[in-house]
């Protein structure tokens, strides 16, 4: 397993608006892999100075599968909620047309 002096094996950077996410795969001295998830958000002070606020989560190998299951579950739920919202919008649009009476015209 190829790693740098800090134990980093692989890194993926995802830029998303004002936030940047770092997905880093690292290795312990015993060659166990773990992941660090870092959110970095750029903030600017009134005097123009910039600061990066960082939040980090460590995810260890024994938790990989449970983490994946949880993430898959919430992403699936979001997708289903979005589909439901779009279906509700279509129903609302159709119901507003059907509630018009000729006497109202």
Q: Would residue 3 count as lying in a domain? A: no
Which CATH number do you get for residue 31? 3.10.450.700
Q: Would residue 2 count as lying in a domain? A: no
Number of independent structural domains in the chain: 1
Domain of 27, in residue numbers: 8-98
> Which of 31-66 are b and which e, b meaning 16 or more Cβ less than 10 Å from the residue's Cβ?
eebbbeeeebeeeeeeeeeeeeeeeeeebeeeeeee
The pLDDT assigned to 1 comes to: 67
Q: Would residue 86 count as lying in a domain? A: yes
Q: Would residue 19 count as lying in a domain? A: yes
Q: Would residue 83 count as lying in a domain? A: yes
Q: Would residue 69 count as lying in a domain? A: yes
User: What pLDDT band is residue 104 in, cutting at 50, 70 and 90?
Assistant: very low
- Report which of residues 56 and 104 the model is more confident about: 56
User: What pLDDT band is residue 48 in, cutting at 50, 70 and 90?
Assistant: confident
């Amino acid at each position: 397993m190829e790693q740098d002096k800090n134990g980093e094996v692989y890194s993926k950077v995802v830029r998303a608006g004002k936030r940047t996410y770092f997905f880093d795969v690292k290795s312990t001295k015993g060659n166990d892999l773990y992941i660090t998830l870092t959110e970095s958000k750029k903030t600017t002070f009134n005097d123009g100075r910039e600061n990066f606020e960082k939040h980090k989560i460590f995810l260890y190998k024994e938790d990989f599968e449970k983490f994946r299951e949880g993430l898959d579950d919430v992403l699936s739920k979001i997708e289903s909620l979005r589909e439901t919202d779009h279906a509700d919008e279509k129903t609302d649009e159709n119901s507003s047309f059907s509630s018009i009476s000729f006497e109202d015209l």
